[in-house]
Chain A
C-alpha cells in the first residue's frame, strides 16, 4: 500500500523569502503521479503543481517548484518570493498511473507567511 508522509505539521516564512515543504512517500509502483494541493482558509483544495514520475525534470509553476527525487521517494515543494496569499494548508498527494485514480494524501503542512 502507498503512504505519504509530511513531517512538518507547521511552518512559517517571512514575506518574500523562500520556504521548502517536505514530502516523502512509499510505493512499489514505477509509474505514478505526485501532486501538491493548497487549502486556504476558504477551504477549497487547489492544485499547486504536479509531477509525473517518469519525468526526470522537476516541475515548475511560476514561484512554485518541486525537487523530485525518485530513488529517495522524496517530493518537496519550494515556494519562492512567498506572498501573504500563500498562507494555507499544503497537502502532498500520490496517485498510481492507470485506471485506479484515487489520491493518497499526506497529513498536510500549515504554512504561515508573515508580513
Chain B
C-alpha cells in the first residue's frame, strides 16, 4: 500500500538555524498538509497545499515558515530561523486521489519528523 514518507526521522538543530523537513506524499494525491504536535499538546494544523499553492494556513504558520513542492514528488517545510518553541513532532499528510470524489477521503500520514531545537 502506498505510504507517505518523511525524512529525517529526527532532526537536531541549533536555535536560529534554518531547517528543512522533507516529505514524499502518495504519488497520485492532490492535497498536502503539514501538522505539528508539541509534546503533550494537541496536533495542530500548519498549512495545506493544493495545485502548487497554499490553500490554507494557520496562525502558527508565520513568515518564518514556508512550503514548497520543488519537483513532482517532494513536499518540504522550511523553518527559516528556528526557535526553541519550534521543537515538536512534524507530520506530513496527503489526501484525495486524482480523478476521485474527494469530499470524504481521509488524510494519510507519514511517520513524522521529531525536531529538537537546542
Interface residues of chain A, those whose CB is within 8 Å of chain B, are: 33, 35, 37, 42-47, 50, 52, 91, 93, 97-108
Contact = CB atoms under 8 A, between A and B. Distances in A.
Interface string B72-96: 0000000000000000010101011
Contact of B43 (A42, A50, A91): A91
Contacts of B111: 42-44
B43 A100 contact: no
Interface stretch (B19-27, B63-71, B100-108): B100-108
A113 B12 CA distance: 33
A102 B42 contact: no
A60 B45 CA distance: 27
Interface of B: 31, 33, 35, 41-45, 48, 55-56, 58, 89, 91, 93, 95-96, 103-104, 106-112
23 contacts: A37-B109, A43-B89, A43-B111, A45-B91, A45-B109, A47-B106, A47-B107, A50-B106, A98-B103, A99-B55, A101-B33, A101-B55, A101-B107, A102-B33, A102-B45, A102-B48, A103-B33, A103-B35, A103-B43, A105-B35, A105-B42, A105-B43, A106-B42
Contacts of B31: 101
Contact of B107 (A43, A103, A107): A103
A60 to B, nearest CB: 16
A43 B45 contact: no
A108 to B, nearest CB: 8
A61 B112 CA distance: 26
A102 B59 CA distance: 13
B104 A33 contact: yes
Nearest to B102: A101
B104 A50 contact: yes
Nearest to A33: B104
A33 B96 CA distance: 14
A99 B108 CA distance: 17
A105 B111 CA distance: 17
A100 B106 contact: no
A104 B45 CA distance: 7
